[in-house]
Amino acid sequence: MLFSTLFCLKGFDTAWRFVAINITMLILTLLSSAIFYQNGFSLVVAFGFATIAACANYRRLKAIKGFKPSMVVSPLLLIFIALIPLLGISFWFGGVFFLLFVVFVALIGVKPSKINVHGFVQGYYGPKLAEQEKVQNRQQRQDPFISANDQSNEPQASLLDGNTQAAKPLDTDFSAEPLFETSSAQQSQFESEPYSNNYSAFQTPSFTKQKQKVGLWCRDHKRLLLTIITMVIAVVILTVIGYVASQLGSKSATNNGQNVIEKEVQPVAIKRISVKVPDGFWVVKEADILIIRWLGDEGQAHNLWKLATAKGESACQQMTFNNQNVYRPLTVDLMSDSGIEARFSPLDNRAIVTDIAMRGSFTLCGYKFNLKGSQAALMSLPEFAKEL
């Protein structure tokens, strides 16, 4: 069958040919999307497949006398399937488009034909069959020949010779004389002007004739051109809508992610209970975390020591009392207000509070603190008094 029948809007298709063309175009669209993944060329290829599907739909809809504008349903679904990897849309939409495509093809394919036409060739009936028959007849034509031994051919030979004598074999030797005789003037003309206007008779049709042929083709395929233009406009509009929707979706997801991060970063407002010891430091309790705070050097807020990584200033690795009791802080940080805060494990809360109240001094991060009057300060708050 001629390839041109795939793009023909005249004629009819059987149900099997209609289904075969549409399923083939779907498979080719999926393959092109996989081969040219996230490449615009896959959309161009899919548009060509969609055009073939639209023509098959139109021929089948004419056969069943269906609603002809529905011919664009399966082509648009093919375009949507090709757009999914380009726009980064979820592949769930691809499954929906695939299902809609199969349902549409099945609904059109099961409807019986309402035309009384016979003579389908490979599922197609239309003007392309007549053109193919003309080409085949032209190729099978045989030229007449003359046989000297066949007496029945003598009248034909005599007519060709222009007399009533029987045809005789010619014994003239044509190799001894030229086939065409040219004068010296003509010979010099051909030699001097090898590309003269004499060659114009063998040239291809002029641009005007080609333009007329194009105009006639456009007039005969007006519906095909209108279908292509409609599909182009629809694809452009849907591409813009899909792109805008994907951008809005990504921005919304980004904003939601930022809000979640901000909520995670922002500290929860927890009540802090603190008491100042006469030597100039504070004992702070924040929930179950015990904090030792004092004013340090000015500078940007940063971490001084972290037990989880064992990195930081070595002087902040442990808190040492004068009785050699040692406690390791979880973190030591320089705050934005120049305060230094050392946080300890809740398991050490009671022991540290007791040593602060009963011992004479301790050192931490190179600072030495005198604990004179610390017991009275701690007893002033019930939260620390119950630890003693």
Domain membership of residue 239 (yes or no) is no
Tally of helices (H runs) and strands (E runs) in the chain: 12, 13
Domain membership of residue 166 (yes or no) is no
Domain tally, the chain: 2
Domain membership of residue 277 (yes or no) is yes
Res 204: pLDDT: 47
Res 169: pLDDT: 44
Domain membership of residue 199 (yes or no) is no
Q: Looking at 110, 136, 162, which one is the last position of a domain?
A: 136
In angstroms, the CA 374 to CA 365 distance is: 20
Containing domain of residue 330, as a range?
Answer: 272-385
Amino acid at 185: A
Q: Which residues of the chain have pLDDT under 50?
A: 147-183, 185-204, 262-263
Res 33: pLDDT: 83
Res 331: pLDDT: 93
Q: Looking at 117, 136, 155, which one is the last position of a domain?
A: 136
Res 327: pLDDT: 94
Domain membership of residue 70 (yes or no) is yes
Domain membership of residue 79 (yes or no) is yes
Res 241: pLDDT: 58
Res 271: pLDDT: 79
Domain membership of residue 123 (yes or no) is yes
Res 382: pLDDT: 84
Q: Looking at 136, 161, 188, which one is the last position of a domain?
A: 136
In angstroms, the CA 54 to CA 232 distance is: 13
Contact between residue 349 and residue 313 where contact means Cβ atoms under 8 Å apart? no
Domain membership of residue 293 (yes or no) is yes
Res 243: pLDDT: 58
